[in-house]
Structure 1
Amino acid sequence: MNYTYLLINLAVIFFPLVLSFDKKVHFFSKWKFIFPAILITGVVFLIWDMLFTKLNVWSFNPDYLIGINLMGLPLEEMLFFLTVPYACVFIYECLNAYFPKNHLQKYSLAVSNLFLGLCVAMLFFGYSKWYTFINFGFLLLVLGYVEYVNVKFRFMYKFYRAYFVSLIPFYIVNGFLTAIPVVMYNNKENLGFRVGTIPFEDHFYLMGLLLMNVFLYEVFKAKANRSVV
């Protein structure tokens, strides 16, 4: 079915978009912060995506695509960088609104250090594999910057909660994409370890994608609050 990837994109964003008008979360009022964050992050990940497609790190099954390609990528793949970040930041804001108490605050730095250590280890063991090297290298840079350079505001304890919750829809959506498969991976360019049909690296690809979006989202919100004051 050549609408499969498109329908998956629509399913990902449907409920977050409809529920954006929830009175407690009021997410639609924050679109002026989220969409610039998605745009900037999307440019970075689209360049990454185009490079990996050319290097045959991954490819797309034409049987499940509508056939519209832009800059060498399926339209559905480009929409992925809109629908998934929107849905994940919506989860982030919902959790912050409905569950303001967050016990991860005391442990977020320790969790970050564990992930930073994992990134270093994966770079050591997977330096010869494109997906492993770029994926964990990117996460190392972004996470290190957010945790140790960005000291103006702290949000990682909120981020980790949203990330762990986002793994639930991640397993559903990415499970479909990799099981059908819509997206096909060259195992020579990754560690070859999978959770079900999902490459191990994909978990941290999601983390890097979500972290960059949330960081920029929080930056734009902070700048708007300072200008009001």
Structure 2
Amino acid sequence: MNHHYTYFLILACSLAGPLALSFDKKVAFNKKWKWLFPAIVLPAILYIAWDVFFTAKNVWSFNEAYISGIKIINLPIEEVLFFFVVPYCCVFIYECVRCYFPDRTNIKIANNILQILAVFLLVTGLIFYHKYYTSSAFILCALFIVMLYGFNFFFKDFNAAYFLISYSIILVPFLLVNGFLTAIPVVLYNDAENLAIKIYTIPVEDIFYGMLLVLMNIALYEKLRNQSSPKSINIS
């Protein structure tokens, strides 16, 4: 096996299951691509810019032995694809939760959990402001949660209960994929820029870095989906 395709292979394996199951009659995820793909684009652009900056600042780097060598600015093409493949898989899981567990509409507790989490992340991010990865991942995730509630009129279709249930499921494959990427290692982290608290080989910041990405994708996906439908689930 050519090790230079390792990152590509990890992404392909991650996408294979959700893509094949997208044509399941109950979920019919393929019929929702018209909302999904536009929802993925803006977060991907923001994350790619974030990634370019952090790679330049040596917050993380990429092992040349396990990437193809094709780069956009300073990012491997695989890393750029990550911000399209992972959101696809995550929103697919979210949509499965919505379809198979349609009664999860009581979201008061879920709202409280997200709001408390935002306070914790904001305070922690400010305390560790000098660590690039910790402060940015925690503070930006906190601020986006604040935005969800502060601009309720725009994000009225976001359902915190569906999100939290989905993200608790998403964390299993998300950590598995990141586990491969950091254990091989394909991605190398500079621990001076994070808390150096690891889940196996994964910085704990990855949980909230991923949470922000999924939150953005789901919030925009629901916004686009419900623009064409009079039914919506209010966040409050």
How far apart, CA to CA, are the structure 2 residues paired with 1:154 and 1:132?
Answer: 26
Tell me the secondary structure at the aligned position of residue 107 of structure 1.
helix
* Structure 1 residue 121: Cα displacement: 2.4
- Residue matched to 2:12: 10
| Structure 1, 60-69 or 139-148: larger mean CA deviation | 139-148
* Structure 1 residue 104: Cα displacement: 6.3
* Structure 1 residue 103: Cα displacement: 7.3
How far apart, CA to CA, are the structure 1 residues paired with 2:70 and 2:115?
Answer: 42
TM-score w.r.t. length of structure 1: 0.95
Going by fraction, where is helix more abundant, 1 or 2? 1
Matches within 5 A, 1:153-164: 153-164=157-168
- Residue matched to 2:234: none
- Determine if contact 2:126/2:139 at 8 Å carries over to the other structure: no
Distance verdict in 2 for CA 1:104–1:163, change over 3 Å: farther
How far apart, CA to CA, are the structure 1 residues paired with 2:28 and 2:209?
Answer: 28
Alignment gaps of 5+ in structure 2? 231-236
| Structure 1, 124-133 or 51-60: larger mean CA deviation | 124-133
- Residue matched to 2:219: 215
Matches within 5 A, 1:54-133: 54-102=56-104, 105-133=107-135
- Residue matched to 2:171: 167
Identity %: 44
- Determine if contact 1:58/1:186 at 8 Å carries over to the other structure: yes
Q: Which letter does structure 2 place at the counterpart of 1:138?
A: L
How far apart, CA to CA, are the structure 2 residues paired with 1:147 and 1:182?
Answer: 37
How far apart, CA to CA, are the structure 1 residues paired with 2:48 and 2:169?
Answer: 25
Alignment gaps of 5+ in structure 1? none
Distance verdict in 2 for CA 1:166–1:104, change over 3 Å: farther
TM-score w.r.t. length of structure 2: 0.92
| Structure 1, 157-166 or 140-149: larger mean CA deviation | 140-149
Query: How many residues end up aligned between the 2 structures?
Result: 226
Tell me the secondary structure at the aligned position of residue 22 of structure 2.
helix
How far apart, CA to CA, are the structure 2 residues paired with 1:84 and 1:54?
Answer: 23
How far apart, CA to CA, are the structure 1 residues paired with 2:82 and 2:22?
Answer: 19
**Deviation >3 Å, runs of 4+:** none
Post-superposition Cα deviations, 1:127-177, rounded to whole Å, max 9, x if no partner, equal: 101111111121111111113322433411111111110011012111111
1:36 aligns with 2:38: yes
- Determine if contact 2:5/2:68 at 8 Å carries over to the other structure: yes
- Determine if contact 1:138/1:208 at 8 Å carries over to the other structure: yes
